[in-house]
Amino acid sequence: MIADKQNFSPFNEEPISLISQAGEWTAPFACDLKDEQLKTMYQQMLAARLMDERFIKLQRSGKMSFVAPHSGHEAAQIAAAHAVRVGTDWLFPYYRDYGMTYALGEPLIEIFAQVTGSRLDTAKARQMPMHPSSKELNIFTGASAIASHIPPAVGAAISMKIRETGQVVLTSFGDGATSEGDFHAAINYAGAQGAPVVFLCENNRLAISVDFNKQTGAENIAIKAKAYGMPGYLVDGMDVLACYYVLQECVENARAGLGPSLVEAQVQRFGAHSSADDDSIYRSKEELEQMRQRDPLLRMRRFLENQGLWSERDENLFKKEILGEFQAIIDTLAEAEKVPLEWMFDDVYAEMLPHIAEQKKDFLG
């Protein structure tokens, strides 16, 4: 439990929010985060937004094959990274979660190498873009098959419980994933076994183009937790501190042996579902403009400015610095040699099986 704070009540009717649109602290308890952590959270949100914009430019210039934009999801993603113990707990993210992996500490060069399929990619360019992973940070490799990473997340959490490691798993997914059988099988098993896992649904109400109300008859995702014997929390996903405090409580409750929980962060997806999607077909410019009025970056920036912790000068300096890092990395990747095609045969198994060795031999001629 969070010391000196009110515990959050599950199955709340209105999304939990701690910061107003004007950047005012509205919670019934004091914010106990240090100034540096508050600034770091905002810097990571801003870096994630700028990264997203750069990904789109790289895709349009032919340097990336695919993008799944995450603008509008930054608050939930950065909050999740701060709620877990980095390098101890495990993250099972989905393909829109590069803001989360960046905030966890994944080096920018690894991120850019992965999305561009560079020779410097630690996954050897054998995953499609937007599939984060990190052995050092305990980040399970992202997958394209919707919700397919959720059962392995629960399995890992049950293993941690059996071995009494004190670790926790956090797995994230979109609202579309909750319409998949993998989600229901996994969350049901987690509830039955008391697995130390936190389920984070980044609900942007659009499974590509399918509106939330066409996916479920439930009033929200959080209420589904009742059926699985765990608490469910509805959170304003555009409020990074609300997301952080709720997720921190859920993570520490799981660590204390109190079992799993489901957190629904109601976010907005400012971009298309992916670079293969035309979102203008199913939503208007006016609707998108209304969404942008609730931009999580604007809210957190106003909060920091009200505290005297951020200024226009800080904003400009940070943007210049991070954009410079991006460009230096892109230049480095451009100088790297191309990925050898024969790498595709490596690491399929711990030891190469005879038939794969034969395929490699035939390929190399």
Give the residue numbers annotated as catalytic, written as ranges. 269, 273, 282
AA letter at 16: I
The first and second tokens of residue 236, run together, are 């304003």
> Do the Cβ atoms of 50 and 322 come closer than 8 Å?
yes
Residues 197 and 225: their CA atoms lie apart, in Å, by 13
Burial of 26 (0-12, 13-18, 19+ CB in 10 A): exposed
Q: Which residues pair with 233 in a beta bridge?
A: 263
Cα–Cα dist 82/64, whole Å: 29
Which token pair is 160? 């941690």
Sign for the pseudo-dihedral over CA of 315, 320, 324, 330: positive
CA distance 226 to 122: 40
Token pair of 315 as six digits: 């904003």
Task: Name the region of 44 (left: φ>0; alpha: ψ -120 to 50; beta: rest).
Answer: alpha
Q: Which helix (H) or strand (E) holds 287?
A: helix 285-292
Instruction: Give the C-alpha separation, 45 to 70, whole Å.
Output: 11
State how far the Cα of 30 lies from the Cα of 48, in Å rounded to an integer. Answer: 27
CB-neighbour burial class of residue 41 (10 A; exposed 0-12, middle 13-18, buried 19+) = buried
Cβ contact 16:236 at 8 Å = yes
User: If residue 232 lies in a helix (H) or strand (E), which one and from where to where?
Assistant: strand 232-236
Q: Which two tokens stand for residue 253?
A: 């409750």
Write the burial class of residue 50 (CB in 10 Å: 0-12 exposed, 13-18 middle, 19+ buried).
middle
